[in-house]
């Protein structure tokens, strides 16, 4: 009985990441965007995102793009934003993805992929402004282990706002 419980827990954890991602995306896309006072703004350089309060930002940057880590205990979202960042996932680059979708969220072209790396699930999101030729990609990726990880990442990425140039 114990072996069955251990096996089904491991199976459902691995299986749940993809189904959980689909469910969170469906929930998010059916909501009307509104301000959430529990979120705080963090300036990433080229953009600002809204994050749940336990998150902090650590810039790891380069000169040609804004790079860093948004972290809370036991979870880190990496980002790379700018013209030289390249697109980490697109409809032409779905290699090794166990799940891929694309759409428009908050008026941004959004590519979302899930990749298996060993025993880890990596969620990758690349977003562009509508006019891709005059904008830059914003890439976010993290190793997700729970529905909370997925929800936090989706919340942060879907509240992305480029910094306005004067």
The 10s digit of each residue's pLDDT in 41-81 is 999 988 899 999 899 999 887 777 899 999 999 999 999 99
- Within 10 angstroms of residue 102's Cβ, the number of other Cβ atoms is 15
Supply the pLDDT for residue 5: 29
Taking residues 119-133, report their average pLDDT.
Answer: 83
Supply the pLDDT for residue 10: 31
> Is the model more confident about 140 or about 104?
140
Q: Which tokens sit at 37?
A: 């006072």
- Within 10 angstroms of residue 7's Cβ, the number of other Cβ atoms is 10
Q: Please name which of 136, 88, 86, 133 lies closest in space to residue 115, comparing C-alpha atoms.
A: 88
Task: Return d(Cα 135, Cα 116) in angstroms, integer.
Answer: 29
Strand partners, 161: 48
Residue 56 backbone zone (phi > 0: left; psi -120 to 50: alpha; other: beta): beta
Confidence band, pLDDT 50/70/90 cuts, at residue 89: confident
CB 127 within 8 A of CB 159: no
Query: What range defines the domain where residue 93 resides?
Result: 2-162
The domain that holds 12 is classified in CATH as 3.40.1000
Q: Which of the given ranges, 10-14, 30-34, 82-86, 157-161, has the highest pLDDT on average?
A: 157-161
The total domain count for the chain is 1
The H-assigned helical ranges of the chain are 2-30, 147-157
Task: Return d(Cα 70, Cα 49) in angstroms, integer.
Answer: 10
């Amino acid at each position: 009985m114990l072996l069955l419980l251990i096996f089904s827990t491991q199976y459902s954890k691995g299986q749940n990441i993809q189904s959980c991602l689909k469910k969170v995306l469906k929930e998010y896309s059916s909501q009307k965007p509104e301000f959430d006072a529990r979120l705080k703004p963090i300036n990433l350089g080229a953009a600002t995102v809204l994050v749940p309060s336990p998150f902090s930002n650590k810039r790891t940057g380069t000169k040609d793009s804004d790079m860093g880590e948004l972290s809370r205990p036991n979870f880190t979202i990496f980002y790379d934003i700018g013209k030289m960042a390249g697109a980490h996932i697109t409809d032409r680059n779905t290699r090794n993805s166990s799940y891929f979708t694309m759409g428009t969220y908050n008026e941004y072209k959004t590519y979302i992929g899930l990749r298996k790396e060993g025993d880890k699930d990596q969620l990758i999101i690349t977003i562009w402004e509508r006019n891709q030729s005059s904008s830059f990609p914003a890439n976010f990726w993290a190793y997700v282990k729970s529905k909370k990880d997925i929800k936090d990442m989706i919340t942060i990425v879907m509240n992305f706002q480029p910094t306005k140039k004067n």
